[in-house]
Amino acid sequence: MKHDRKRTTPRLVGLAVATLPMALAIFGPLLAPYGVDEQEPLRYEQTAAGERVPVPPPYPPSRRHLLGTDAHGYDLLTRMLYGARYTVGFVVAVAGLRVLLAFAAAGIGHVGAHSRERILRPRRTALPVGAAVPEFVVAYIAMVGIAFNPPIPPLTFALLQALLLAIIGLPGLVPTIRAMMERAVAQPFVEAQVAAGADERHVLQATVLPALADEFRLLVAHEALVVSLIIGQLAVFGVFVGGTKQTFDPIEYSSRTHEWVGLIGENAAEILGGHVRLVLVPFIGYILVVAAAALLAAKPRARAAAERRGRFESAAGGVEG
Amino acid sequence: MPDGFGQRTPAQKTHTTCEVAITSPQTIRFAAAGRVLSVAFASIPTLVAVSLLPTFIAVEPETRIFLSTSGFEASLAAFVDDMRTGNVNRFYMGRTPRYLTEELARYTKNSAAFILPAVLIATAYAFGIPPARRVVAPRAPAPIGWLAMVPAFVVAMVLQTLALQINRATGIHVFTLAYLGGVGMPVFLPATTLALPVVAYSIKTAENAAHEIAATDYIRAAVGRAVPPGSLWFRHVGCGVLTRLDDAAPRVAATAIGTLFIAERIFNLPGLTVMLIEFPFDRGYQRYPPEVAEVAGVSGAWITSVQVEVVLFSAVALVLLYLAAIVVATSFTAAVRRLLR
């Protein structure tokens, strides 16, 4: 029983942590106290001399604005609630799309159709070329020319970005999925079924794919973590999910979708002005997403240990062979 | 007794963890050189893409032409003309001529000053800490491996916020938060930002390697023969850890380069990544100086040859820096391996 608890605890905690962002993504706009473009009017205060002087935003948290306003007077809570669906939706969509595309690219459809020798023959994985240049740099270069004031709606642009990020991630992901599949088809029970003359497509559908289901869950969670890190890095360079609204006088960059990482990016300079809250609030939301992905992607300890042993035993076999 | 030793399932087949025992030093050197060369050659398509894409997708700010190729053609024409006339070293910022080699040397030096020590420290720390932890404090938790999960920009922002609070609390300028020109370049904050993820990744690699190697029959036999823990962990397990660190060197260097982009951006450091990513876009959108435009036949074009030349050369320099980081890491492991022998 204790062993089972150890296996499932990170996953349960991850699911619990993921619940809040998911709920906000679904119900966020319904809960928002203001409209997304509703601006707090400029406030004035009386000086000791009786003069009425304007007080520029950002305004601190109050009963009227629970998380305060940003530097333009927009309610931060409202922006967070509207942006949640883009942050969570984008991360989940790109992670899923990546794994799906990589799965297709790894050629699972062909494995069943090929000969018995082919299904059991390990293939060599390619050199991870992508390691030479960070993934977010490739993504930045691919997006920077089109990300500022794009003439298409934010959702359409976010979908375009999702597709780009999915494609950029393929070179790293395809060898991983191929290795997973090779491990799965090398299991004794699969070999036994193939040797007994079972239909390979049936073996694939009834045995190999179900055996891979848990691995895919981990992989999607891991990719969600990777994607959340990449969109954070892109935000540092002013490329936000759904596009960047750029104004020229003064030069300012803001997120068109108000997604959480975009809010961090657009308010990053406010740290130096002492308005840490403007970064801290979306930052907490972002960390929730990252933590949920990391916990869901965590392998149970027992399995990690078994994998290490397996790797070592196969290495030893290789040395002896 | 070493951490966890004797509680694991014994490996079914014998495996010698100390690669020196099964592989000659020449083979290791050739393998390392082969890896470096293969990565270098494999980088060429990426390099070309990295060099040319910014120019290809650069758009004129007023007209907002999507994926316009006119700027690309004009830039390429000017670049070819610069190559032909020998002006490739000169580029313009507005109407001021600058010399690419001078700028490149200065910016490369700035980046190298952060990245090479970070990789060296990370490799040294990763080699030393896991064995030392097991010899001195076997029950202590693995140090900072979890930090590899924290994005560099988060580290940078947290550090910047903390430094700001410290500066305010003390009333003196303890930390420089960002480079604003002149001589006051921040060192501590960017160096920490750069080193933390690299060290964390290296530590994680070394810890996993030490954990695996400790379970092998080779090490179990050594414990059975009462080999002292210091010798066991540093000499025998450490030897295998060095091989893993060699394997991880390209990944460590890539992590360092990735973090360099973030650190140079957030702390506004004049480094190679700024030259690669920001020069074409921040300094672009200028018309050619008339004398250059006439020669290149690109009169009135917006995008200057600074884009192709600076991007191309800074991308080459960045790949060289990446290779230099790998060489630093593998040289360190080679030196330690020689010492252990």
Chain centre to alpha carbon of residue B280: 22
Q: Containing H/E element for A319?
A: helix A301-320
Query: Model confidence over A210-222: pLDDT tens digits?
Result: 878 878 888 888 8
Tell me what pLDDT residue B65 has.
32
Q: What interface predicted TM-score (ipTM) does this complex get?
A: 0.71
**CA–CA dist A88, A98 (Å, integer):** 15
The Cα-based distances of B13 to A311, A321, B8, B215, B266 in angstroms read 12, 11, 14, 12, 51
Put simply, whether B175 touches A (Cβ < 8 Å) is no
Tell me what pLDDT residue A122 has.
42
Put simply, whether B7 touches A (Cβ < 8 Å) is no
Instruction: Give chain A's radius of gyration (CA, Å).
Output: 25
Tell me what pLDDT residue A16 has.
82
Contact B189, B181 (CB under 8 A): no
Length of chain A: 321
Tell me what pLDDT residue A65 has.
92
Q: In sequence order, what are the residues at sequence separation of 6 or more whose Cβ sits closer than 8 angstroms to the Cβ of residue B303?
A: B55, B58, B60, B71, B72, B74, B75, B284, B285
| CA count, 13 A, side-chain hemisphere, A234 | 31
DSSP of A70-94: -TTSBBHHHHHHHHHHHHHHHHHHH
Average pLDDT over every residue of A11-34: 87
Tell me what pLDDT residue A117 has.
43
**CA–CA dist B143, B128 (Å, integer):** 12
pTM for the model: 0.74
Query: Residue ranges of chain B with pLDDT lower than 70?
Result: 1-78, 91-97, 137-146, 280-308
Where do runs of H (alpha helix) occur along chain B?
19-22, 25-57, 70-85, 100-136, 152-170, 188-214, 217-224, 229-230, 238-266, 272-277, 279-282, 290-296, 306-340
A124-133, A154-163, B86-95, B252-261: segment of lowest average pLDDT: A124-133
CB atoms B15 and A225 under 8 Å: no
Contact A14, A296 (CB under 8 A): yes
Tell me what pLDDT residue A258 has.
92
- Tell which of A253, A280, A312, A314 to mutate to test the B interface (max B CBs under 10 Å): A312
- Tell which of A129, A133, A283 to mutate to test the B interface (max B CBs under 10 Å): A133
Q: Give residue for tokens 């050197």.
A: B29
Whether the per-residue pLDDT at A101 is higher than 60: the answer is yes
Computed from CA positions of residues A43, A47, A50, A51, in that sequence, does the dihedral angle turn out positive or negative?
negative
